[in-house]
Structure 1
Amino acid sequence: MTAPSTAQRPGGRARTGQRAVTFLVPDGVDDPARVSGGNVYDLQVRDRLDAHGWSATTVAVKDAGGVASLVRQLPDDTVLLVDGLVAAWVPEELAAAAGRLRLVVLAHMVVAAFADATPAEVDAERRALAAAHRVVVPSAWTASEFVRRGLVDAGRLSVAAPGVAASLLDPVVAHSADADGHLLCVGVVAPHKGHDVLLAALAALSDLEWTCAIVGSTEVAPGFASTVRRAAAALGRRVRLTGVLGREALAEEYERAGLLVAPSRVESAGMAIGEARARGIPVVAADTGGIPETVAGGGAILVPVEDAAALAEALRAWLTDAALRRRLRGEARAARAALPSWDDTAAAVAGALESA
C-alpha cells in the first residue's frame, strides 16, 4: 500500500469563516512532463477554492491502496472532492464511505463514451458515480451524456466549464505574419484525439503551403503514437511532433499558429480549444461531445467526426480563402469577452461542494 503523497494530512481544520474540503488528485498532477486537461483543471480549481470559502487540503495519491487507506481515515461528515480518475480506482471504498462522507466526484470525461474503454473501466465509472452525492462535469454535453447512459441522475450534476487564464484576455492579440499557414493540434497522442484523421486530411493538401505542429504526450498510447509518427514522416518536415511542452514553449506554439485543429473522436469540452479562443485563434474541430459548446460564439468550423475528407475540405478553405480567415478571426476575437475564467470554474465547483 502506498501512502498519500502530500505534505498535509487529510481532515485538517479550515481557517475561520471557511469550510474544509479534502481534494484527492492523481499523483503527478503537477508534473510538467505529464500535462493533461484534467490535471490543469484540478490545479486551477485547487488554487482558487480558497477565494470561494473552501480551505482545500489537496492529496496526491498513487494507487488504489493509498486512496482506500485515506478514505477510511477521514472523519465523518468530511467533504471529499475526488478527481474522476482516482474515484474509478476505488468505487467500492467510496460506496462504503458514502453514508458518512460528503462525496463530490470531478468527472472530466465520460469513460463509457470511449470506443476502447474496457467493461471493467466502464463498470468502475458507473459504481464511482453512483456513490457520489454530487458530480461535477466540464460541459452540458457531459452532463447530458451521463444522464442518457443512466450513470447519474440530473439532480446530482453540476457543470463547471473549464476557464481560461485572465492573462490571455489582454486586448492585444499578436500573431506572426505567416501564421495563417501554420496549424496547431494540442492533446495527448491517443486514438480519441483523432490525430490519424488529421494526418489523412493533411495528406490531401500536398498542393498547398502549410505546416503543422502536434503537441502532446506520445507515452499514453505508444502503438497509436507509432502509427501517427509514420503518417507524419510520410508528409515530410511539414509536420512536427513536439511531445509535451512546458508553459512557455506551448505559448510560443500558440503564438505561431493561425488555426487550431481538434479532430477528436470524443471530447468533453476541449481545453486546448479554450486556450486558442482566449488568444483569438480560430478553430476547425470535429462536431462531437462538448466541442460545440466550447466554440459557441463563432470563430470555428465544425466537421463530422472521423471524416478526413470533410476535415481536408475545411482546412483547404481556411488556407485558400482570405475572406474566410478574416471572418473567423474576427469572430474568434469577439467571442473572447464571453469566455469563462478559472475563477468562474472554481465558483461553480464551490457551489457543488455546498450542494453536497
Structure 2
Amino acid sequence: MRQPLTGKPTTTMTRPRRAALAVPGDITTLTGGYIYDRRLLDGLRSAGRDVALIELGAGFPDPSAAEIADAAARLAALPADCPVLVDGLALGALPVHALDGMAAPLVAMVHHPLAHEGGLPEARRAHLFETERAILERASAVVVTSPHTADLLAADYGVPAAAITVARPGTDRPAGVGAPADPPLILSVGIRVRRKGHDVLLRALSRLTDLDWQAVIAGGVHDADHAAELDRLKAASGLDDRVTFAGRVDRDTLDSFYARASIFALATRYEGYGIVFDEAMAYGLPIVSCDTGAVPGTVPGDAGVLVPVEDVDAVADALRRLLTDPAHRKTLADGAARAGAALPAWDDTAATVAAVLDRVTP
C-alpha cells in the first residue's frame, strides 16, 4: 500500500507471547524427561515465543530448604501474563506453600508421578503423593506425555480430565539407512536405576549364551549402588565379553547404536512414557519390553513383544525367538517401522503445549 504524502509511516509491533519453563538441574541431561523438556523449549522458541528457562536446584526431587526457597522466589518473580511450565521432577517435590507468592499461571508438566517411582519406602511414597496432589490442585492446567499418565492423574489424584492435555513426545526421523551389526546387536537405552530393569535383562541374556549376539546398554549412572550391582551381575553371569555398559553417550553415538541394532530391549518395571521406544520404532527395531505403565499404549502389538514385569524367562524367550526366527523378527520390524513413520514430530508437541499456554494466559 502506498504511504500517505504527509506524516510518518506507522508500523505495528507485536511482542512475542511470553512463557517460562522451570527445570531442575541441567536441561542437557540425557534422560527422556530432560530430552522432552529441551526439545519442547526449542520448539516453542522456534515458533516465535519468548520462553525463559528457569534453572532450579539439582537436588530435586529431594530439594534442600535453600533450593525450595530459591524456587519459590524465582516462580514468584514471574509476571501474571507469563505462564510457567514446571517439570514434575521439581513440582512434585515442592511444598504447596512455595507457590503462595505466584501470580503467573502454573502449568504442571508430569512425565510420571514421583510417588509411582518403584522401590520407594512407604512413608516417602505417601509424602510425595500428598505433595503432588496438593500442587496439582493449584495448577491452571496439566500437561502429560501419555494417555496412561492422564488416566493415572485423573484416577489417583483427582485431576479433572478437562484440565489434562496429552502432548506426546516428538520423534526425529533417522538421517540414514540402518546397518545392522554382525553378530546381531541387542540395544537397551535407559539410565542405570532399578526401575529400568537392566538387572532383569542381564539375567535373561545370561540364558542365551548358546546364541551369537552382542548387547549395549546405554545410559548414565543415576544410582551408584545399583550401577555397581549391575557391574557385579554382569561379571557373575559371564557376560563381560558380550555386554557393554556404554554410559552416557551423545546423540550421534546413540543414533549409531540404533542404526547398528537388530533388536531393542528394555525390561522396565515402569514407564510414564518412554521416548526410547519411539526412537527404536523410528529405526524399525522390533521391541522386547514389559506390559507396564505407558508401554502398552506406546508400543503397538505388531511392533514388539511385551511380557510381565520381572519375568526373566519371558524376556529370554522373546529375545531367543527374535534371534533365531528371521521371519518373526522381520514381521515385528515392519510393524515398528510403520508405527515409527506415524509418530508426531517435535513441532507437533510444541504446538499442543502452546495451545495450553494460550488458554491459561490472562
**How does the TM-score come out when normalised to structure 1?**
0.88
Task: Summarize the alignment of residues 86-97 of structure 1 with structure 2, pairs less than 5 Å apart.
Answer: 86-93=90-97, 95-97=99-101
Contact 1:91 1:131 in 2 (8 A): no
Partner of 1:144: 151
CA distance in 2, matches of 1:248, 1:51: 22
Residue 53 (structure 1) shift? 5.5
Structure 1 residues 352, 296: CA separation in 2 closer, same or farther (over 3 Å shift)? farther
What percent of counterpart residues are identical?
Answer: 37
Contact 2:75 2:99 in 1 (8 A): no
CA distance in 2, matches of 1:334, 1:187: 24
Please tell me whether residue 58 in structure 1 is matched to residue 58 in structure 2: no
| Equivalent of residue 29 in structure 1, options 24, 27, 30 | 27
The structure number with the bigger radius of gyration is 2
Letter of the 2:249 counterpart: L
| Equivalent of residue 186 in structure 1, options 176, 186, 189 | 189
Letter of the 1:321 counterpart: D
CA distance in 1, matches of 2:269, 2:95: 27
Structure 1 residues 243, 46: CA separation in 2 closer, same or farther (over 3 Å shift)? same
- What is the root-mean-square deviation in Å for CA atoms of aligned residues? 1.9
Partner of 2:36: 41
Partner of 1:231: 233
Letter of the 1:229 counterpart: D
Contact 1:45 1:342 in 2 (8 A): yes
Contact 1:160 1:348 in 2 (8 A): yes
Bigger Cα displacement from structure 2, 86-95 vs 272-281: 86-95
For the residue of structure 1 that corresponds to 2:22, the secondary structure is strand
For the residue of structure 1 that corresponds to 2:330, the secondary structure is helix
CA distance in 2, matches of 1:253, 1:73: 43
**How does the TM-score come out when normalised to structure 2?**
0.87
CA distance in 2, matches of 1:123, 1:224: 28
Bigger Cα displacement from structure 2, 121-130 vs 106-115: 121-130
Contact 1:22 1:80 in 2 (8 A): yes
Contact 1:300 1:332 in 2 (8 A): yes
Structure 1 residues 91, 130: CA separation in 2 closer, same or farther (over 3 Å shift)? farther
Gaps of 5+ in 2: 1-12, 58-66
For the residue of structure 2 that corresponds to 1:237, the secondary structure is coil
For the residue of structure 2 that corresponds to 1:258, the secondary structure is strand
Q: How many residues align?
A: 333
Structure 1 residues 114, 345: CA separation in 2 closer, same or farther (over 3 Å shift)? same
For the residue of structure 2 that corresponds to 1:185, the secondary structure is strand
Residue 177 (structure 1) shift? 5.1
Partner of 2:8: none
Task: Summarize the alignment of residues 1-356 of structure 1 with structure 2, pairs less than 5 Å apart.
Answer: 16=14, 18-30=16-28, 34-52=29-47, 54-62=49-57, 63-93=67-97, 95-97=99-101, 100-117=103-120, 118=124, 119-166=126-173, 168=174, 173-176=177-180, 178=182, 181-218=184-221, 220-234=222-236, 235-296=239-300, 298-356=302-360
CA distance in 1, matches of 2:354, 2:187: 34
Contact 1:233 1:239 in 2 (8 A): no
Gaps of 5+ in 1: 1-14
After the TM superposition, which segments of 4 or more aligned residues of structure 1 sit over 4 Å from their partners? none
Residue 68 (structure 1) shift? 1.0
Residue 52 (structure 1) shift? 4.3
Letter of the 2:245 counterpart: L
